[in-house]
Amino acid sequence: MFTGLIQALGRMYPVGRNQLRIHCPQAPILADLALGDSIAVDGVCLTVEQQVPQGFLATASPETLDRSTLGQQAEGSWVNLEASLRVGSKIGGHFVTGHVDGWGYLDTAAETGNAWEISFSVPNPKLARYLVPQGSIAVNGISLTVADCGDRGNWFRVAVIPVTYRETTLQYLRPGQAVNLEGDILGKYVERFLHRDASAAIPQGVAIDLDFLADHGYL
């Protein structure tokens, strides 16, 4: 489990079949890193298999490479890094599992007076349904708040403070570039509860609307 608060940047290099070397010589997380630890690399939960000078090695399964951007990034690409959450740690972002739901694509990034306004397109409807205004979304492992989104969830916009833009890979993104997206796990559980045994729990003809959700404790 992670929080979406990026702790360091590293560079990723393929090493053999499905294995990745993460080079992060200045990252403070290295001082406390141990074999078997979980670490989020651009929002993808990986396991530290070997510690090497100024970094670590991890293996990404073929499914992980297919479902995330790790399989298409160029050698030496910058990646966001976050060590797993520990009991008693502060939770400044939101609960991030490191299990990527799909890809999004950068549309625009514009600097305003005190923030960056960044828009992404979301072609996958299965992921789009988890986008709600003021809800949480993890972009390459970064915990962000949805400022606005399309009615069908096919795009969303976030406002990013300068320090987040400067200290993450957001600064390196270019229009059309793919990013890893993970929807809020709370929304997934609500969806699961609503659909589990729906035929027995919800009388025929009853619509699942805001009034229904409020009556059943979801609002």
Domain boundaries, the chain: 8-83, 102-191
pTM of the predicted model as reported, rounded to 2 decimal places: 0.85
Using CB atoms within 10 A of its CB, is residue 146 exposed (0-12), middle (13-18) or buried (19+)? buried
Provide the pLDDT for residue 200: 52
SS3 111: strand
Provide the pLDDT for residue 196: 63
Residue 124: CB atoms within 10 A of its CB come to 14
Which fold is adopted by the domain 8-83? Elongation Factor Tu (Ef-tu); domain 3 (2.40.30)
Q: Residues of the chain with pLDDT > 90: what percent? A: 63
- CATH architecture assignment, domain 102-191: Beta Barrel (2.40)
Provide the pLDDT for residue 203: 63
CB 100 within 8 A of CB 44: yes
Measured distance CA(159)–CA(96) in Å, rounded: 19
Instruction: Look at 28 and 200; give whichever has higher pLDDT.
Output: 28
Does residue 25 surpass a pLDDT of 80? yes
Measured distance CA(62)–CA(219) in Å, rounded: 40
What residues contact 17, with CB distance under 8 A and at least 6 apart?
none
Segment of 84-88, 125-129, 138-142 carrying the highest mean pLDDT: 138-142
| 8-83 matches 102-191 in fold | yes
Question: Which helix or strand (DSSP H or E) is residue 59 part of?
Answer: strand 55-59
Average the pLDDT over each of 14-23, 24-33, 41-50, 112-121 and give the range with the smallest value. Answer: 24-33
Triad 181, 144, 4: Cα angle to 5°: 75
Measured distance CA(16)–CA(77) in Å, rounded: 17
Instruction: Look at 95 and 159; give whichever has higher pLDDT.
Output: 159
The model's confidence at residue 189, banded by pLDDT at 50, 70 and 90, is: confident
Using CB atoms within 10 A of its CB, is residue 43 exposed (0-12), middle (13-18) or buried (19+)? buried
How far, in whole angstroms, is CA 56 from its chain's centroid?
21
Tens digits of residue pLDDT in 65-98: 988 999 889 899 999 999 998 877 777 888 899 9
Average pLDDT over residues 12-25: 92
Query: Number of C-alpha atoms within 13 angstroms, CB side, residue 204?
Result: 0
Mean pLDDT of the chain: 89
Tens digits of residue pLDDT in 1-16: 899 999 999 999 999 7
Cα–Cα nearest to 180, from 119, 117, 106: 106
CB 98 within 8 A of CB 83: no
Instruction: Look at 181 and 95; give whichever has higher pLDDT.
Output: 181
AA letter at 168: T
- The DSSP code for 73 is P
SS3 110: strand
Does residue 204 surpass a pLDDT of 70? no
Does residue 205 surpass a pLDDT of 90? no
